[in-house]
Amino acid sequence: PEMVQALEQVQKACTILAVATDRNFDDPDETPEDDKSSISKLLVDQLSAETRREMLVAVMGGGEIYQYNRKGDRPKAPVLVAPPFSQNEQQDVSEIVRSAITAGGIVPQTIRASFSGYKLALIPNDKDEAGRPIASPDMDTLAARIRTGMQEKGLAYNLELRTPNNPTLAKYIIVRKTDKSASILGILKILAEQGIYVDASEVLILGDETAHDGLDLTMAKAVPQATMISVGKKLDPRVSNAYLWPETGPQSALKILRAIGEHYADRNPEHVFSFSQISLRERSPREFRERYKKGAHKGGQPYKEPLPAFVGTRAHETMHWLYVQGIPGRDLTRPNQQQELIAKALGEHLAPVHV
């Protein structure tokens, strides 16, 4: 309910609301109510019709994108669909996986593989056919071999080595034909075709899967002019338009969404604070108060200072605020800082990323 309220407040601030998820849009009809896990069940159906108005929902890691109409009615079909793995593509990937398993001396029965539309999941079995516990194979090495095999074959699929939240479960591998870069680019394409131009610098992305190969991080890479705030535990520092929030998890995302909604609801719509004005406030609070004190413009109403939690969705404003708060990210006064972060990442055996 809290997340629903926060999203409704953001939408009322005349913001284009979009959701990108790896979940399905809907559950099969035969799914028991308690087992339903689609984004419609977990979130979108709980929103009011007004909030769902023209809302965009990208599902299945970018495979399909749905859009609600002006009344907030549920769409019957996606407005954009990416082609799933074809039989030939499945065969090519399967051959690479089999070769990687053989090269690692892994018993094939210890890993179960399944294709599902746009992705291949490789999950270690925790028991053998007799029900006896078995050790998990080295999934890190297997992932590296599969990635090398795809590169050699010229296959540009996204590979993720994922660690479950449950510490008793082993790592697993996901190979994707589409990722969330397709989600955000598809959403911008749909809006452009509808005559809605979105300045990329006004796009704010929230996500938690932002470590190396993180699914959410693909959106920040796809639109480098946008700003991403990560509420995950780790952030790949090579992606210069993404910033690590000091708190993690859904409550952090909730806090940010609330701050955005409150900021736009409370701010004087006649006046948007510019970067120079924000800088002035930091340099000389007294001069700032004198220049923007009550009665400083027509009508005798005071200008609204940006709330402490957030200063705007434009990238330069957000970056400045993040720097002032001491949150890791790009320091506008130190152009070399990002290179230092990249150098540190390279010391941790990460390859360069250019965005």
User: Residue 66: what pLDDT?
Assistant: 96
Q: Give me the pLDDT at residue 200, please.
A: 79
Range list of H helices, 86-199: 87-103, 139-152, 180-193
Q: How does DSSP classify residue 133?
A: B
What is the model's pLDDT at position 307?
A: 30
CA distance 164 to 171: 6
Instruction: Give the per-residue pLDDT at 340.
Output: 56
Residue ranges in the chain modelled with pLDDT below 50: 267-278, 292-335, 338, 341-342, 345-355
> 3-class DSSP state for residue 311?
coil
Residue 346 has a pLDDT of 46
The pLDDT of residue 182 is 92
Q: What share of the chain is helix, strand, coil (3-state, %, to 5)?
A: 40, 15, 50
DSSP 8-state code for residue 300: G
- DSSP 8-class letter at 34: G
Return the pLDDT at 142: 94
User: First and final CA of the chain: distance in angstroms?
Assistant: 37
What's the pLDDT score for residue 177? Answer: 92
Supply the pLDDT for residue 45. Answer: 92
**Number of neighbours of residue 252 by Cβ within 10 angstroms:** 18
Angle between helices 139-152 and 87-103 (to 10 degrees): 130
Residue 8: the pLDDT is 83
For 168-187, give one letter per residue: b (16+ CB within 10 A) or e.
Answer: eebbbbbbbbbbbbbbbbbb
In this predicted structure, what is the pLDDT of residue 13?
A: 64
Q: What is the DSSP string of 199-228?
A: -GGG-EEEES--STT-TTHHHHHH-TTSEE
